[in-house]
Structure 1
């Protein structure tokens, strides 16, 4: 390579600190997401994708009084002209703008399947159609032709798009907003249209209005799903700071059923329950029934339709309705929290705003829109007045003008005479006419209008109409000038328009505001009783009452490999060969008749019969009162205080095992007990349990018996004082209780 080229390459290399470059790049990315995608503008309450979609529909002429157009057409046009992102983001935004259960005031009129409140998605954009709502056309997109907002180049500078829409109502409050940016998120609840308009008018009359005074008009959120705000007193602080938590409850009605069986009917749901959370609510109710948290619910059906939400809970006779309502509020999504963070882009930067500041920004924007609108209208009327004055003046000297036109060689000569009185080259009938023509001084705009005037305009009635029109124009000029010169006049115009919107589009409040006591679930004290746990050879478990067991004792003893008397409020400790302990509540075990099959113990605990074997099962109440003896195949033994196994986790480590070792034996220690260890090579060692040291459950333990290579323990027996136990070894019986008590960590005797 040429050396000069090498030098040029070296000179073009820019050295910079990597951390500084990363920081700058990340900040640029974050601000791009915040401003250009995720957060709404406080002026029109819209995110860029929403603004561009509405503007594109306006440009395509898809008005409220025109036929619907395919959603795919709108999405494609928006993407190609203004929003160079995925079509799904545009269509998703468009769908939400059409959903009356998400928006307090839907801005798009959707035709077709635009999803449901239960979380069903909208149909593909090729199937659905849409057009603008009337309110959108009148209050969001009107006056765009009057230079009320700035237009900026689109992404490839081939089109122009509005920087912000000239929205005449505080859309940020009416429809709320949700968005996740980088390092920040916005969550603004929707409000009642009529209340918000009243709040704006109140602010315009008193710019020093406080949050408390404003809340006399805007009382609180008004969710499209209705429901009840349960912490009304917290709203003042939320609206002051722009942050807080709103507790929302669904509405429950009680219907009388047959035979004294009541029904709980949920007719309104919390706003946060929209979509998949309705299904989750149903599942939560099923779980309450299955876990026996309530026994009052007999059946639950979702009868919701286009007419509204209707979830019916059928109750058993004599059910405690109030207690059940509290349980539903406490344990399900029927009471939920809406986190408020009123974050929006104000003056080009994200800012958390209270209620009054949001309205202040909106009103300032309205004054700016009105100023630019009436400046444009005034300029048009002044231009019109100038032309009208010229035409009226021309009608008074029409004969002279006709003489000028007939005597001129071209239009340029005639126009120069009308504007500047230049008569050179024009043939006049008399010197008097020439002298009069020299005194003419029409403006250029007036001269152009005179030259374009048609002869029928000289009819008497037409001249009278022109004079009347001129008077109307002067009246408009006076009106527009007054609006521009006096802020009070401009305020009256804005308020008049707001009142008209309120009259046409306001509706009754849906969400009730109240201060409700927190739902309290009083647990019924469970009556403690003795039950008998039965486990058959296949691992199926069940519990029966003691009297049932006593009646069927012989059969039960013959058919089951484990029989334990336990308390119904107790837990079972299941020790397995891999060193784990699984806990299972006795209440989780099926309780019923003696001949019931039961359920696999795998189904009610974390125990997995395909990967581990049960070594020992005992009630936790007994375990915590005793010391437990542990023994492994490699003859590692120890004592552990049973209190160490009083844990909350369903599965925990019961003991530490060395590699390739297994837990062989666990039992509760009794006084004066001895332990007999038996190996695969038929070596026997009996030791006093008092020689076994106590260790923590996380310890391996100590060696109990010295084993030959390739030998391991096969059995461990625990003998109390009076126990007499024999085992068979190579066809002969060995009395374990007669074995000599030896020292721990010895080889034992061969049998």
Structure 2
């Protein structure tokens, strides 16, 4: 039995190597497209699998489940969902500059509806995919590599004849890097490639005479035209896009804003988010000009209608939509792709350069293969033409042979020993034959009807065509201009058949500026029920419904509509909520869950104290925990801009019991679960920072904890109910902080 070998290594080095290997695998083999064909591995494998299955554009659709299963089993050893999602995206015309898959069934919508399950949908290759992405695979123009289990061969790259990286763009998140490339117009890309081929020294700025900018399938308007030159030069930057907005007149002198094109980034759930954002502008009183909003989009296109009041400033409202919603959005560009086996950020010219180099490589391999075939045909044709001239001799050789091998040997080497001839002259002529092996095989396989005069004439014409093709292919292979012209002719043919008009406008637009309606500052009353639903009402509304409000709500607080609410929780956090974010209106309105407008989570957190931010300016707060820790904290400690902060530091398994505004003239009373009570002056409580634990307020017995905290001033009679017993606080014996307290009698 062999002894196992223990390899000693530094653990950090092993982890580093493993992580780098994993990262590179994700970068190269999953997340980033190849600059040559502009496809990620999953896309490349899916398209090739469809080609192999024969699911062509002119044949019937096949179930997506079949395509996904075959791709997963043969080429892509990952989850079926990732393959199906890639297939769906390649069929969605609102995501791709040119769809690569012709989908049949529910492939999702621009509004965010997902595609139907793969067992319901069908697909086949789009015509352009077959003609420009998968053509000539039989001409040895690309390398094939073993699949994951080395039972099949798959293409290392597809022979794509157009710069797909620019046409369809790309999105992908790898490890430590991400790619984001916008879609472009096919006609413009072809013109740019031709311009580069005619002048390799062309600049990015000159290329932009042909490629004006991105061309998104959703249209829209790019509004920072001047920034595009630098983006295309460096491969990174930010493109600002706006939706297309028109203003239409309706009855009664009113107007409506109609959005007919959306920013590319709004595809999917973004439309729903936009509608919610517009509703929030109305609810939070940011605008009072909007009467109604409706989404009237259909298969014909996007149509979002916003009806406005008669005297509304429409231009100002449109600018507000640009500024406050995703009607104007940013598309982050990072043109990262795998070039020469490594990830690289590429500018526009570099992408075109890589594409043209790839086209010359494809053309070279293609025409070498074609030339070899024509040369083989030439060899055979010359043999058959020569055989027709001595056909009687060849027939005599065949009749005098005892086997095909003897006849073939005679034809190729002139060996006559094993063949019976009618005359010495025939034998002498046969000894002079020197056909090649291929020619001899073709002669032996030739049928007698080929000796008809017309057939011989056709053979001569075919030979002339073959010689012409050889001359043509040699010219293409030996002459740069000839090969370049072939590539350009291919591009022109594709442009003629598939180019479409540009959808996205490119312009320089002014920054959207709008005047906000100034909110009139006023005091309102917050009402929040025990379920966390909150709203604000006018003070007079509260006073009229005071009895019902006090009965139905757990928290009632007067606050300014321009201020904030400070919500302290048992786990030591403080959440801030803008009063403006809560609905303001009628007493019987339900309100919003505060979870929706803050980081507070009602399922996990418990409110200990709620106050208006005005209280922070002049108050000190008493913090008391279950384990008896106690401190004073100045309100100014909580005057912060963050929505959520740590309000105090807690020991393990401790929680806040109470937070109260406190004055030094008051006395503190702590009451525990087991009925112990301790009264001491508030001035004995140390003032600490919010990040401190505090000091011990009371020595607790085993398995006891603080349950209630009271504050009162000497000379005032304060009665409370504790454990179903009335307690008069000012009659309790005064002691020192950090005592054990006295036990109340039952």
Which protein is bigger by CA-based radius of gyration? 1
Q: Using a 3 Å threshold, how does the CA distance of structure 1 residues 63 and 194 change in structure 2: closer, same or farther? A: same
Alignment partner of 1:268 is 2:261: yes
Structure 1 residue aligned with 2:17: 24
Alignment partner of 1:453 is 2:415: no
3-state SS of paired residue (1:9): coil
Unpaired stretches in structure 1, ≥5 consecutive residues: none
| Post-superposition offset of 1:644 | 4.7
Task: Select the residue among 427, 433, 439 that pairs with 1:434.
Answer: 427
Alignment partner of 1:383 is 2:365: no
Structure 2 residue aligned with 1:345: 338
Q: Is the 8 A contact 2:46 2:71 kept in 1?
A: yes
Q: Is the 8 A contact 2:569 2:656 kept in 1?
A: no
| Post-superposition offset of 1:400 | 2.3
Distance 1:443 1:562 in 2: 103
Task: Select the residue among 166, 171, 178 that pairs with 2:171.
Answer: 178
Structure 2 residue aligned with 1:392: 385
3-state SS of paired residue (1:340): strand
1:299-318 equivalences under 5 Å are: 299-318=292-311
Q: Deviations over 1:286-323 (max 9, x none)?
A: 22222222222222222222111222222232222222
Structure 2 residue aligned with 1:193: 186
3-state SS of paired residue (1:477): helix
Q: Using a 3 Å threshold, how does the CA distance of structure 1 residues 63 and 655 change in structure 2: closer, same or farther? A: closer
Task: Select the residue among 240, 246, 255 that pairs with 1:253.
Answer: 246
Alignment partner of 1:234 is 2:244: no
| Post-superposition offset of 1:568 | 4.6
3-state SS of paired residue (1:499): helix
Task: Select the residue among 283, 286, 293 that pairs with 1:290.
Answer: 283
Q: Deviations over 1:417-463 (max 9, x none)?
A: 32222333433333333333232222222222222222211211111
Q: Is the 8 A contact 1:590 1:598 kept in 2?
A: no
Task: Select the residue among 662, 666, 673 that pairs with 2:661.
Answer: 666
Q: Deviations over 1:499-544 (max 9, x none)?
A: 0000000001111112223333433333344667899999999877
1:443-522 equivalences under 5 Å are: 443-522=436-515
Distance 1:547 1:280 in 2: 35
| Post-superposition offset of 1:584 | 5.8
Structure 1 residue aligned with 2:401: 408
Structure 2 residue aligned with 1:525: 518
Q: Is the 8 A contact 1:656 1:697 kept in 2?
A: no
Alignment partner of 1:113 is 2:106: yes
Q: Is the 8 A contact 1:385 1:474 kept in 2?
A: yes
Structure 2 residue aligned with 1:82: 75
3-state SS of paired residue (2:259): strand
Bigger drift between 628-637 and 174-183 goes to 628-637
Q: Deviations over 1:576-634 (max 9, x none)?
A: 999987766555666567x768869979996989997888x876557625778999999
Distance 1:415 1:555 in 2: 113
Distance 2:442 2:656 in 1: 108
Task: Select the residue among 24, 41, 45 that pairs with 2:38.
Answer: 45
Q: Is the 8 A contact 1:281 1:334 kept in 2?
A: yes
Distance 2:659 2:6 in 1: 71
| Post-superposition offset of 1:344 | 1.5
Task: Select the residue among 5, 9, 12 that pairs with 2:3.
Answer: 9
1:562-577 equivalences under 5 Å are: 568-571=561-564
Q: Is the 8 A contact 2:571 2:655 kept in 1?
A: no
Distance 1:412 1:61 in 2: 41
Distance 2:20 2:142 in 1: 28
Structure 1 residue aligned with 2:328: 335
Q: Using a 3 Å threshold, how does the CA distance of structure 1 residues 419 and 301 change in structure 2: closer, same or farther? A: same
Distance 2:605 2:23 in 1: 49
Distance 1:577 1:98 in 2: 52
Bigger drift between 429-438 and 291-300 goes to 429-438
Between the two proteins, the alignment pairs up a number of residues equal to: 724
Task: Select the residue among 101, 104, 108 that pairs with 2:94.
Answer: 101
Alignment partner of 1:60 is 2:53: yes
3-state SS of paired residue (2:502): coil
Distance 1:702 1:427 in 2: 124
Alignment partner of 1:279 is 2:264: no
Distance 2:556 2:36 in 1: 74
Distance 1:18 1:575 in 2: 45
Q: Is the 8 A contact 2:562 2:580 kept in 1?
A: yes
TM-score, L = length of structure 1: 0.82
1:535-574 equivalences under 5 Å are: 568-571=561-564
Q: Is the 8 A contact 1:633 1:713 kept in 2?
A: no
| Post-superposition offset of 1:665 | 5.7
| Post-superposition offset of 1:80 | 2.2
1:145-160 equivalences under 5 Å are: 145-160=138-153
| Post-superposition offset of 1:645 | 5.2
Q: Is the 8 A contact 2:247 2:257 kept in 1?
A: yes
